Amino acid sequence: MNAHNAALGGTPQRLKRGIPLALRGVARRFGEREVLKDIDLLVPAGQFVAIVGRSGCGKSTLLRLLAGLDQPSRGELLAGSAALAEAREDTRLMFQDSRLLPWKRVIDNVGLGLRGDWRAKARQALRAVGLAERANEWPAALSGGQKQRVALARALIHEPRLLLLDEPLGALDALTRIEMQQLIEGLWREHGFTVLLVTHDVSEAVAVADRVILIEDGEIGLDLPVELPRPRSRGSARLAALEAEVLNRVLAQPELPPQPEPVSPLPTQLRWAL
């Protein structure tokens, strides 16, 4: 079994360490409004970070900058000591919408954009997310949670070192959401990639992350380590106390106006879970 196969379908291995991130004085302005204000942030390799905050606070803008879908007005984005742009091949992004192509079968969506003999790898990626038996079905036959599993498999096949998650579970029902949280956490523990998860769900953030960052009006208002053993008991008093601490801080902030939509690259230029 080669290294890639072992990573997806065999004995759990941490084959690649995640990418360490450094943001230095990162800001993003849209016209007169500064959505992000001189963000300084260090994320060690392999850390799972959840980013929370009210709508319009700048958290999704931050993720877009990390994904290369937008550019900062000032500041630096680094992967270790190199520019983050040099790590684009190791970065994958998942959205709330699975973005599957309805005219392609599940396995072809997983292998989208790949060349050569990729089908065995695609099947292993589907096996890793529990959908090996659905490889030849059409996306229309899948539930919302299953579609997100396919999107996750589409990211895994590339062995990402940085996985960016923009509310990928936001549209799922409660039970499916918990199952997906556990799946993502398990894959992260197995492969060791760095994860940044943007979410409105504070309970989700404290359940899966090593660290919860609260964005308030474009600035880091809270940087809270979650020093609890895994797997975490969702009914525990310690988890509830952390959730309450974050929620109390979030609810103390006023609702912000929506952010303007930035001009994005064409879809063919994006590396969304692809």
Q: Is 58 annotated as a binding residue?
A: yes
Q: Is 31 annotated as a binding residue?
A: no
Each residue's pLDDT tens digit, 165-176 = 999 999 999 999
Residues whose CB is less than 8 angstroms from the CB of residue 217 and which lie 6 or more positions away in sequence, other chains included: 37, 57, 58, 253, 256
Q: Which residue has the higher pLDDT, 202 or 263?
A: 202
**Averaged pLDDT for residues 9-18:** 52
* CATH code assigned to 3-269: 3.40.50.300
Residue 255 confidence (pLDDT): 56
Burial environment of residue 138 by CB neighbours within 10 A (0 to 12, 13 to 18, 19 or more): middle
Q: Is 59 annotated as a binding residue?
A: yes
Q: Is 98 annotated as a binding residue?
A: no
Q: pTM of this prediction? A: 0.86
Query: How many C-beta atoms lie closer than 10 Å to residue 199's C-beta?
Result: 23
Q: Is 56 annotated as a binding residue?
A: yes
Q: Which two tokens stand for residue 150?
A: 């396919």
Q: Where are the domains of the chain?
A: 3-269
